[in-house]
């Protein structure tokens, strides 16, 4: 079963705009990770946020985590056409168990 | 540092045939994962190895899928016989350790079963 569910399923924006994707999950987590997948390629790790963190930045990426609401958001600022990809959240339940991936948000950045 | 290697990149077979995929993880990574990703969905874990032992194969359809990781390095995933619903991308990933570690993915093998 997939614990994380991304919202929206698809998002289309103009280059230069910000893109926000959300992830909701059901059970407690140790950490939450975001991955990007370009068409026809494997997944690439973007950022990891631990359960005791509320916000994390990496370049143009900003991730927030609200464990009380069991939700996370990924913000991409000043988007570029190269950001066009699918974005997945993955939850780590801890205790050395495996990551569970959501169904993804398909982001299209129009030039 | 070399990434996760997978081959072949593409495979087309007819139903009831067999197929095998190969994965070579990042050097030194003890944990290796095989995922199945159906179009429009996120990756679903099929099997997880820690060195050459199986940690989790609860979602592996064992009547037709098998996997091995001899010597704790590269791994092979086999499907025999294939069904139409096996059409998907098969992703291999590796991580330094078990648990919620960052995973590094290969490019995947796209399988089409006709």
Summarised one tens digit per residue, pLDDT across range A65-93 is: 999 999 999 999 999 999 999 999 999 88
Question: Which residues 1-40 of chain B have a CB within 8 Å of chain A?
Answer: 4, 33, 40
Structure confidence at residue B1 (pLDDT): 63
CA distance B41 to chain A (A): 5
Which parts of chain B sit beneath pLDDT 70? 1
Instruction: Please indicate whether, in this complex, the C-beta atoms of B42 and A101 are within 8 angstroms of each other.
Output: yes
Give the CA angle between residues B51, A92, A94 to the nearest 5°. 75
CA distance A77 to chain B (A): 23
Which parts of chain A sit beneath pLDDT 70? 1-3, 96
By C-alpha distance, the chain A residue nearest B40 is A103
User: In chain B, what residues touch A45 (CB-CB under 8 Å)?
Assistant: 102-104
Chain A residues interacting with chain B (CB cutoff of 8 angstroms): 2, 4, 30-31, 33, 35, 40-45, 48, 88, 92-104
DSSP string, B17-69: --EEEEEE--TT--EEEEEEE-TTS--EEEEEEETTEEEE-TTS-TTTEEEE-
Structure confidence at residue A90 (pLDDT): 94
User: In chain B, what residues touch A2 (CB-CB under 8 Å)?
Assistant: 41-42, 44
Q: Which two tokens stand for residue A26?
A: 């059901």
CB B62 within 8 Å of CB B69: no
Q: How far apart (Å, rounded) are the C-alpha atoms in residues B72 and A77?
A: 41
């Amino acid at each position: 079963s997939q614990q994380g569910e991304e919202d929206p399923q698809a998002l289309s924006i103009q280059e230069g705009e910000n893109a926000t994707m959300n992830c909701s999950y059901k059970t407690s987590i140790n950490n939450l990770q975001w991955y990007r997948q370009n068409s026809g390629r494997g997944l690439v790790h973007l950022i990891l946020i631990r359960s005791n963190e509320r916000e994390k930045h990496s370049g143009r990426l900003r991730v927030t985590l609200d464990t009380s609401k069991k939700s996370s958001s990924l913000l991409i600022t000043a988007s570029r056409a190269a950001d066009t990809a699918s974005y997945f959240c993955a939850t780590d339940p801890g205790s050395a168990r495996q990551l569970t991936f959501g169904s993804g948000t398909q982001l299209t950045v129009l030039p | 540092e070399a990434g996760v290697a997978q081959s072949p990149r593409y495979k087309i077979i007819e139903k009831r045939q067999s197929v095998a995929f190969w994965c070579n993880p990042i050097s030194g990574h003890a944990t290796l994962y095989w995922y199945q990703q159906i179009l429009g969905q996120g990756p679903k874990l099929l099997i997880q190895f820690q060195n050459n032992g199986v940690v989790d194969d609860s979602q592996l359809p064992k009547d037709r899928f098998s996997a091995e990781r001899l010597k704790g390095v590269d791994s092979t995933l086999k499907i025999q016989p294939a069904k139409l619903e096996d059409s998907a991308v098969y992703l291999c990933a590796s991580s330094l350790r078990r648990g919620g570690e960052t995973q590094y993915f290969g490019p995947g093998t796209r399988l089409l079963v006709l």
